[in-house]
């Protein structure tokens, strides 16, 4: 048997047999990755929540986190979140609550460096 013919029957190296990835699969994985990220509360925000005696229940935190993910998908990076009991400045890029204040306190403030607002009122 000639060596040239023998070489033709050998399998290709594994690096040449990579399966092409579909854009749909990558989008799906990225979507799941974004949804799984845990909402973080900065030290500053924790202090403000305690000082101002603002209590936010687990269900409301989940809702805030879900809306932040939705806002991020729409291109929002920094947002104002308005709830019945509090106003939060959040970074959707870092999935972090930056600061918090009571709802009454927020009514006379000017908010800068945000490019979106999320309103969660019951």
Domain coordinates in residue numbering, the chain: 39-122
Residues 6+ apart with CB under 8 A from 79: 68, 71, 89, 90, 92, 114, 115, 116, 117, 118
Q: What is the pLDDT of residues 88-105, one digit of tens each?
A: 999 999 999 999 999 888
pLDDT tens for each residue of 75-90: 999 999 999 989 999 9
Percent of all residues in the chain with a pLDDT value above 90, rounded to a whole number? 57
Show the tokens assigned to 34. Answer: 């974004």
pTM: 0.68
Asked if residue 79 lies in contact with residue 118, where contact means CB atoms within 8 angstroms, the answer is yes
């Amino acid at each position: 048997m000639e060596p040239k013919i023998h070489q033709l029957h050998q399998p290709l190296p594994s690096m040449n047999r990579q399966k092409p990835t579909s854009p749909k699969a990558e989008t799906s994985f990225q979507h799941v990755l974004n949804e799984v990220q845990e909402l973080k509360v900065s030290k500053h925000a924790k202090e403000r929540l305690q000082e101002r005696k603002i209590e936010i229940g687990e269900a409301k935190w989940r809702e805030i986190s879900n809306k932040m993910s939705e806002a991020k998908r729409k291109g929002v990076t920094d947002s104002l979140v308005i709830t019945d009991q509090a106003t939060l400045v959040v970074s959707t890029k870092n999935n972090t609550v930056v600061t918090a204040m009571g709802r009454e306190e927020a009514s006379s403030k000017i908010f800068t460096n945000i490019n979106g607002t999320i309103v969660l009122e019951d």
